[in-house]
Amino acid sequence: MFKINLVFEDTVSILKIVPYTLFMAIIILIIGIVLGAILAIIKLKKIPVLNKLVSAYVSYVRGIPLIIHLYAAYYALPELINYFSNNIGGSAESISPVLVIIVAYSLYTSATQSENIRAALCSVESGQFEAAYSIGLTGFQTLFRIVFPQSLRVAIPAFFNMYLAIIKGLSLGFMVGLVDILAQAKLSSAINAGYLESYVAAGIIYCALWGLMTIFIDKLEKYYYK
């Protein structure tokens, strides 16, 4: 029988892990945006060799399920660390799940964000570049003073959607030992045997987060588009 009191108990238990999940998601998003911006600029500038490599990387990452990247990082990171430092063991257990998640999700996010950022940069009229060059700005100054502020208006919705996707995608982190919102729900259900109640509580929290973030992004968009 469905027990409403367990829903409240599980909600309280899961809420304790929410700040940790949100913080991890924002770190991953920031790293993904930075890497994505670099990849986008390489593609826009059509830098020889690098342009081809970036295109291949983006196509590969976007075409492979996230869980494969997660397991690849889980097993590859210890080997890489062991290769560069003989003082660190090469077993998967020696690597923090947090590090695995950040590396795997950041690389995955960078591929998607590179396309979003490239589209946002292309939305800026070419005349903006010509005007900036005419007053003596360098290419670097043009990007950071003229192009990026304008393209940010276009990219904000994509960043927000990706942030939500990362939060939901962190539920896969349980596979490598990370405890997020869904993982905490699973642990709670194992303790009180209220499986349905735990997942209902997790669903309520996900919906609440989505609602609050939607309100926030709406206000942010109004600020930029006013």
Could you read off the pLDDT of 154-176 as tens digits, one per residue? 788 888 889 989 998 888 888 88
Alpha carbon distances (Å) from 202 to 97, 98, 225: 21, 21, 34
pLDDT value for 225: 63
Contact, 105 vs 97, CB < 8 A?
Answer: no
Which band of pLDDT confidence, cut at 50, 70 and 90, is reported for residue 5? confident
**Percent of the chain at pLDDT exceeding 90:** 15
pLDDT value for 226: 62
Per-residue pLDDT at 40 exceeds 80? yes
* Helix-helix angle 195-225:4-15, to 10 degrees: 50
Q: Which residue type is seen at 109?
A: T
Q: What is the dihedral of CA 208, 209, 211, 212, to 10 degrees?
A: 110
How many other C-beta atoms can be found within 10 angstroms of the C-beta atom of residue 206? 19
pLDDT value for 90: 46
Residue in the structure block whose two tokens are 């500038």: 45
Q: Quick one: average pLDDT of 12-40?
A: 91
Mean per-residue pLDDT over the chain, rounded: 83
pLDDT value for 122: 82
Instruction: Report the length, in residues, of the chain.
Output: 226
Give, as one character, the DSSP assignment of residue 40. Answer: H
pLDDT value for 154: 79
Q: Rounded to 5 degrees, what are φ and ψ at 138?
A: -80, 170
Using alpha carbons, select from 206, 207, 190, 210 the residue that is nearest to residue 198: 190
Q: Quick one: average pLDDT of 189-218?
A: 86
Residue 28's Cβ-side half-sphere holds a number of Cα atoms within 13 Å equal to: 30
**Percent of the chain at pLDDT exceeding 70:** 93
Alpha carbon distances (Å) from 125 to 49, 132, 147, 211, 214: 27, 12, 9, 34, 29
Predicted model pTM: 0.84
Q: Is 46 strand, coil or helix?
A: coil
